[in-house]
Amino acid sequence: MPNDSAAMGITVLGSTGSIGVSTLDVVARHPERFRVVALTAHRDVEGLFRQCLQHRPDYAVMADADAAQQLRDRLRGHDSDVEVLAGMEGLVRVAGLAEVDTVMAAIVGAAGLLPSLEAARCGKRVLLANKEALVMSGALFMEQVRNCGAVLLPIDSEHNAIFQCMPGGFVSGQTARAVRRILLTASGGPFRTTPLEQLARVTPEQACAHPNWDMGRKISVDSATMMNKGLEVIEACWLFDTDASRIEVVLHPQSVIHSMVDYVDGSVLAQLGNPDMRTPIAYGLGWPERIDSGVTSLDLLAIGRLDFESPDLDRFPCLRLAYEAWEAGGTASTVLNAANEVAVQAFLEGTLPFTGIPRLIEDCLGRCVSTAATDLDGILAADATARALARERLAGTARSLAG
């Protein structure tokens, strides 16, 4: 925890996305505690430009080189001394800066893997909002955390809730032996009650209209297919050193209970709150203390009721595929994630129907041979192979994948 004379240095990876914006909102509420050292974005020059003027970081990184030059030009015109870096090299550099204590890992997808690993390698407090890092390289990532003295705090609302419900002193990657099972809640997304025969015709705009959460387009589609929950099951296995068979997904449309932990003595602990990502973000930033997040207090009387139901795997085949990938082990979850990213992008671009997403993923899982996921080169090779196969299958069979 920072003292009065030394604020905690923070890098926000993916600062213009929804998690990044919420992180900076919480940080701005505590200027005496936190100092923004670095901010990063993909191509949103205007968004990162405004953040640089407001938060005055030492570094700004654009993943896209042309966008980086545009940002340099904009900042130069405002006499800013922010150093602008570009590409994966820049992302990795700001994740490991000596003056950085905490890294918010909020880059969506596989692009966030390398800088998140670097933060762990450098022994940072890693606030992990990028679930793909553990889905792709769980064993390697957790080994880095253990061996390098990093502190890993989950930021996904569900995993953060589980972490809060674990026994006192719990550390990510440990086994909580008194825990019988983990109850991972899910809203069910926008299509929880949509007739199955209509799903092939839903639009990206409908898929991105989440009933409770304000998220980016890719994560919103993942929520609509429930692949997001499938990835979270795999992530939870690594974070809480358990098997997927001990993780039960429960549909909870109000998104008030963010997850629960069932103990062997019959106790079930739950973490509740309004659906606002600033709550888990503030928990991670302030841990082991709690700090103001700006989130309004939960009014249970106004909510009135809390509903629960089992997920329908005919409606949400992506959830089934995630469990199967975990059981297969090795790079199967890497393939799952890669194929999903390609499929979701195709859906958002209008070249694949919504129901084609799980079909493409299942096709790739059946064609890719799973290998050991013990080294970074092997993981990245599996990722590249799966993406190439998914694009090849997409180009040749998009019509048949519609089902």
Order of strands across the sheet that contains 59-62 = 83-86, 59-62, 34-41, 8-13, 102-105, 125-128, 151-154
Question: How does pLDDT run across 16-57, given as a tens digit for each residue?
Answer: 999 999 999 999 999 999 999 999 999 999 999 999 999 999
The phi, psi pair for 368, rounded to 5°, reads -95, 135
Question: Rounded to whole angstroms, how far apart are CA atoms 3 and 28?
Answer: 17
Which CATH class name applies to 8-155? alpha beta
What does the pLDDT read at residue 211?
75
As annotated, the residues of the chain forming the CATH 1.10.1740.10 domain(s) are 329-403
pLDDT band at 3 (very low <50, low <70, confident <90, very high): very low
H or E segment to which residue 134 belongs: helix 132-148
pLDDT band at 1 (very low <50, low <70, confident <90, very high): very low
Question: How does pLDDT run across 128-163, given as a tens digit for each residue?
Answer: 998 889 999 999 999 999 999 999 999 999 999 999
As annotated, the residues of the chain forming the CATH 3.40.50.720 domain(s) are 8-155
pLDDT score of 84 more than 60: yes
Give, in degrees to the nearest 5, the angle at Cα 332 between 329 and 334: 120
| Residue 191: CA count within 13 A, CB half-sphere | 27
Question: Rounded to whole angstroms, how far apart are CA atoms 171 and 184?
Answer: 19
The phi, psi pair for 3, rounded to 5°, reads -100, -175
Domain with residues 329-403, CATH architecture: Orthogonal Bundle (1.10)
Q: Which residue has the higher pLDDT, 110 or 10?
A: 10
Question: How does pLDDT run across 238-261, given as a tens digit for each residue?
Answer: 999 999 999 999 999 999 999 999
What does the pLDDT read at residue 108?
85
Question: Rounded to whole angstroms, how far apart are CA atoms 341 and 393?
Answer: 14
Question: How does pLDDT run across 201-215, given as a tens digit for each residue?
Answer: 999 999 998 777 667
pLDDT band at 374 (very low <50, low <70, confident <90, very high): confident
Task: Answer whether 162's CB lies under 8 Å from 240's CB.
Answer: yes
H or E segment to which residue 185 belongs: strand 179-186
Q: Which residue has the higher pLDDT, 350 or 399?
A: 350
pLDDT score of 90 more than 80: yes
What does the pLDDT read at residue 210?
78
Q: Which residues of 247-260 are buried (b: 16+ CB within 10 A; e: fewer)?
A: bbbebbbbbbbbbb
Question: Rounded to whole angstroms, how far apart are CA atoms 50 and 308?
Answer: 42
